[in-house]
Protein backbone atom coordinates (compact mmCIF):
# COMPACT_ATOMS: atom_id res chain seq x y z
CA UNK A 1 0.00 0.00 0.00
CA UNK A 2 1.32 3.43 -0.95
CA UNK A 3 2.05 5.82 1.92
CA UNK A 4 0.18 9.09 1.44
CA UNK A 5 1.46 12.18 3.21
CA UNK A 6 -1.33 14.36 4.54
CA UNK A 7 -0.99 18.09 5.12
CA UNK A 8 -0.95 19.47 8.66
CA UNK A 9 -4.35 21.09 8.11
CA UNK A 10 -7.05 18.84 6.66
CA UNK A 11 -10.21 19.71 4.79
CA UNK A 12 -13.51 18.05 5.71
CA UNK A 13 -13.04 15.47 2.97
CA UNK A 14 -9.42 14.75 3.95
CA UNK A 15 -10.35 14.38 7.62
CA UNK A 16 -13.23 12.11 6.62
CA UNK A 17 -10.86 9.88 4.65
CA UNK A 18 -8.24 9.98 7.42
CA UNK A 19 -10.74 8.90 10.07
CA UNK A 20 -12.50 6.55 7.64
CA UNK A 21 -15.85 8.11 8.50
CA UNK A 22 -18.60 9.32 6.20
CA UNK A 23 -18.56 13.10 5.83
CA UNK A 24 -22.01 13.31 7.44
CA UNK A 25 -20.86 11.40 10.54
CA UNK A 26 -17.76 13.59 10.86
CA UNK A 27 -19.86 16.76 10.53
CA UNK A 28 -22.25 15.53 13.21
CA UNK A 29 -19.42 14.64 15.60
CA UNK A 30 -17.46 17.86 15.08
CA UNK A 31 -20.65 19.95 15.42
CA UNK A 32 -21.30 18.25 18.78
CA UNK A 33 -17.73 19.02 19.88
CA UNK A 34 -16.70 15.35 19.95
CA UNK A 35 -13.98 15.66 17.30
CA UNK A 36 -11.66 18.70 17.19
CA UNK A 37 -12.19 20.98 14.22
CA UNK A 38 -12.84 24.60 13.31
CA UNK A 39 -15.32 26.15 10.96
CA UNK A 40 -13.79 29.06 9.07
CA UNK A 41 -16.55 30.90 7.24
CA UNK A 42 -18.25 28.02 5.37
CA UNK A 43 -15.39 25.50 5.50
CA UNK A 44 -14.27 23.05 8.17
CA UNK A 45 -10.57 22.61 8.92
CA UNK A 46 -8.90 20.01 11.10
CA UNK A 47 -5.39 19.93 12.53
CA UNK A 48 -4.03 16.46 11.88
CA UNK A 49 -2.05 16.55 15.14
CA UNK A 50 -5.22 17.47 17.09
CA UNK A 51 -7.06 14.53 15.54
CA UNK A 52 -4.15 12.22 16.38
CA UNK A 53 -4.13 13.48 19.99
CA UNK A 54 -7.90 13.04 20.22
CA UNK A 55 -7.65 9.48 18.92
CA UNK A 56 -4.97 8.63 21.47
CA UNK A 57 -6.96 10.18 24.35
CA UNK A 58 -10.19 8.47 23.33
CA UNK A 59 -8.42 5.12 22.93
CA UNK A 60 -6.76 5.46 26.33
CA UNK A 61 -10.00 6.55 27.99
CA UNK A 62 -11.94 3.73 26.38
CA UNK A 63 -9.31 1.21 27.44
CA UNK A 64 -9.39 2.44 31.06
CA UNK A 65 -13.18 2.27 31.16
CA UNK A 66 -13.12 -1.27 29.77
CA UNK A 67 -10.55 -2.32 32.37
CA UNK A 68 -12.56 -0.75 35.17
CA UNK A 69 -15.69 -2.49 33.92
CA UNK A 70 -13.86 -5.79 33.88
CA UNK A 71 -13.17 -5.37 37.60
CA UNK A 72 -16.71 -4.35 38.56
CA UNK A 73 -17.70 -7.87 39.64
CA UNK A 74 -14.45 -8.61 41.49
CA UNK A 75 -15.49 -9.39 45.09
CA UNK A 76 -11.95 -8.79 46.40
CA UNK A 77 -11.98 -5.06 45.53
CA UNK A 78 -13.87 -4.00 48.65
CA UNK A 79 -11.35 -5.77 50.88
CA UNK A 80 -8.43 -4.37 48.87
CA UNK A 81 -9.83 -0.83 49.18
CA UNK A 82 -10.32 -1.25 52.94
CA UNK A 83 -6.75 -2.54 53.31
CA UNK A 84 -5.35 0.43 51.39
CA UNK A 85 -7.28 2.99 53.45
CA UNK A 86 -6.29 1.23 56.68
CA UNK A 87 -2.60 1.23 55.66
CA UNK A 88 -2.85 4.97 54.96
CA UNK A 89 -4.51 5.57 58.31
CA UNK A 90 -7.56 7.09 56.64
CA UNK A 91 -11.25 6.39 56.76
CA UNK A 92 -13.06 5.48 53.55
CA UNK A 93 -15.68 8.06 54.54
CA UNK A 94 -14.78 11.74 54.82
CA UNK A 95 -15.66 12.60 58.42
CA UNK A 96 -15.45 16.34 57.67
CA UNK A 97 -18.12 16.24 54.98
CA UNK A 98 -21.46 17.84 55.89
CA UNK A 99 -24.28 15.99 54.13
SS3 letters across 51-87: HHHHHHHHHHHHHHHHHHHHHCCCCHHHHHHHHHHHH
Give the pLDDT score at 10: 97
The domain ranges of the chain are 9-88
Averages of pLDDT over each 10 residues, the chain, 99 residues: 76 95 92 92 96 84 62 73 84 64
Q: What is the pTM of this model?
A: 0.56
Give the pLDDT score at 19: 93
Amino acid sequence: MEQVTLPDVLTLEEASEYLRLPVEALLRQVSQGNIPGRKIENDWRFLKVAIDDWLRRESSRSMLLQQAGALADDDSLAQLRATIYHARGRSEVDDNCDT
